Structure 1
Amino acid sequence: MSVLSAPRFAGFTSHELARLERQGDVVRLRRGHYLPADDCAVDPAARHRQLVEATLPLLAEGAVVSHLSAGVLHGLPVRGEQLQHVRVTRQPPGSGKRRGGVHVHVAPLDASDVISVDGLPVTSLARTVLDLGRTLPLTQAVAAGDAALRLGLRPAELAGSLDAARGWRGLPAARRTAALLDARSESAGESESRVILTQLGLAPTDLQFELLDGWGEFVGRVDFAWRDQRTLGEFDGRGKYDRLLAPGMAASDAVYFEKRREDALRDLGWELVRWGSADLAQLELFAERIRRALRRGSARAVRLTSPGAPRRPGA
């Protein structure tokens, strides 16, 4: 049940609704707007979408869903802890403000900047990536921008939005974001890893690198590769194993087949290093892990190319 179609709560007193909330029968999204507990989303992004639906009709005409809220409606990766406010943009004049769970931004909106998503006025993908690039940390902005490219955002559209925003606050950060975007990264974790590796001076040479054996048969595809150091890298997020699950396959099966794939890659003479979100939060330790892997991979490469050294299939 949508927030906007919950007439069963019409006519309830505030005391009755408070009692239902204490009992766990209803959840208050915002003042005056409740959902049956069974209909209230648990996922932060889905919950925020419900909050947007409840909030937008209360705002004066002209408010356009933007920034993180637009990211949610477009299906871009955003962090749940950043979704306390519904974010909207209005045309000038005026000033930005936060009140009643709404964060109002004031900035020019061209007609091409506004589209309809499920009947709601929302900034376009290009404008949303521009706004997120101006306001989010670089790693998070790039993750959102990469996802937008995968959803069909054309680089030329984003370039046009950047040109139209000359003089805006945060534009240099948005330009840095745009310069780093790459649709080949398949998850927010891969995107953030790529940015961090670049900042550490450890940028990989290849993304979504495919390996073949000595007979030309496909062995596997990995997130990152450093070819000269004969090293492969994989970001391990929960979504990776979800994508590996075929119909009827148990999670343990996916882990088993992933382990077999990893063994096959190492049999080709490559070093393989894995990391997750927790590793990215400890930059010095993460950088040292990558450097150690690159040193081991380089040593493998030397052994495999030394005169008289036996060559493995696929080397």
Structure 2
Amino acid sequence: MQLRRHYREDLHDHDIITINGVPVTSLARTLTDCLLDLPPADALVAGDSLLRVHCRPDRWRSRDTNALWRELIADVEERLSSYRHRNGRVRAQSLLKLLSPWAESPGESELRRILLAAGFPLPDLQHRVVAENNEYFLDLAWPDIMLDVEFDGA
């Protein structure tokens, strides 16, 4: 594995934060760069993972998760719109609409990407169903047509 360093001249003070004494790019800047620079499949997996870490999704407090999600997405949308002539901006804006903190693993993100590329509509993630007095959360669901797809990590 080879280390790649990217030097950007467009970094602003608000793009840099310090974690354990190490200067790093902020979450919004990192997500923006991933969407712009990574291949789409990698950008989707990385974006979902960044959202999951930031939002810490809780099935019983989804309002809190969704508020953090909307806030971060709005920040990244604003950043992307400021890159008027940047290659990959339109693709990044399209990918941003597909990201979700509710994808519980990279495998679920990749499966969602494959299904979307095959023409499936956007699924509900971690869709709650109750059957025989048991509660289940479905990885990918299309409730209107009663379809569920589960990702088995094994």
TM-score, normalisation: structure 2: 0.77
CA contact (8 A) 2:52 2:103 kept: no
User: Which residue is equivalent to 1:181?
Assistant: 99
Within 2, Cα distance between the matches of 1:180 and 1:161? 17
How is 1:1-315 mapped onto 2 (pairs within 5 angstroms)? 83-91=1-9, 108-152=10-54, 154-203=72-121, 205-214=123-132, 217-238=133-154
Within 1, Cα distance between the matches of 2:73 and 2:97? 10
CA contact (8 A) 2:40 2:95 kept: yes
What do the CA deviations read for 1:111-166 (whole angstroms, capped 9, x no partner)? 11111233222111111111111121212101111222223261122122212322
Within 1, Cα distance between the matches of 2:81 and 2:12? 13
CA contact (8 A) 1:131 1:174 kept: no
What do the CA deviations read for 1:58-90 (whole angstroms, capped 9, x no partner)? xxxxxxxxxxxxxxxxxxxxxxxxx51232324
Structure 2's unaligned 5+ residue stretches are 55-68
Larger Rg computed on CA atoms: 1
4+ residue runs of structure 1 moved beyond 6 angstroms? Answer: none
Count of residues paired in the alignment: 138
What do the CA deviations read for 1:238-287 (whole angstroms, capped 9, x no partner)? 5xxxxxxxxxxxxxxxxxxxxxxxxxxxxxxxxxxxxxxxxxxxxxxxxx
Q: Name the CA shift for 1:147/1:167 in 2 (closer, same or farther; >3 Å).
A: same
Within 2, Cα distance between the matches of 1:162 and 1:204? 22
**Aligned to 1:89, what secondary structure does the other structure show?**
coil
CA contact (8 A) 1:125 1:148 kept: yes
Within 1, Cα distance between the matches of 2:25 and 2:123? 34
Within 1, Cα distance between the matches of 2:29 and 2:84? 13
Within 2, Cα distance between the matches of 1:171 and 1:85? 25
**Aligned to 1:86, what secondary structure does the other structure show?**
coil
Structure 1 residue 230 displacement after superposition: 2.8
Structure 1's unaligned 5+ residue stretches are 1-82, 92-107, 239-315
Q: Which has the higher contact order (CA 8 A, sep 6+)?
A: 2
Equivalent AA in structure 2 for residue 162 of structure 1? L
What do the CA deviations read for 1:170-201 (whole angstroms, capped 9, x no partner)? 21221122121111111111112112211211
CA contact (8 A) 1:212 1:218 kept: yes
**Aligned to 1:88, what secondary structure does the other structure show?**
coil
TM-score, normalisation: structure 1: 0.40
Structure 1 residue 208 displacement after superposition: 0.7
CA contact (8 A) 1:162 1:175 kept: yes
Within 1, Cα distance between the matches of 2:32 and 2:95? 9
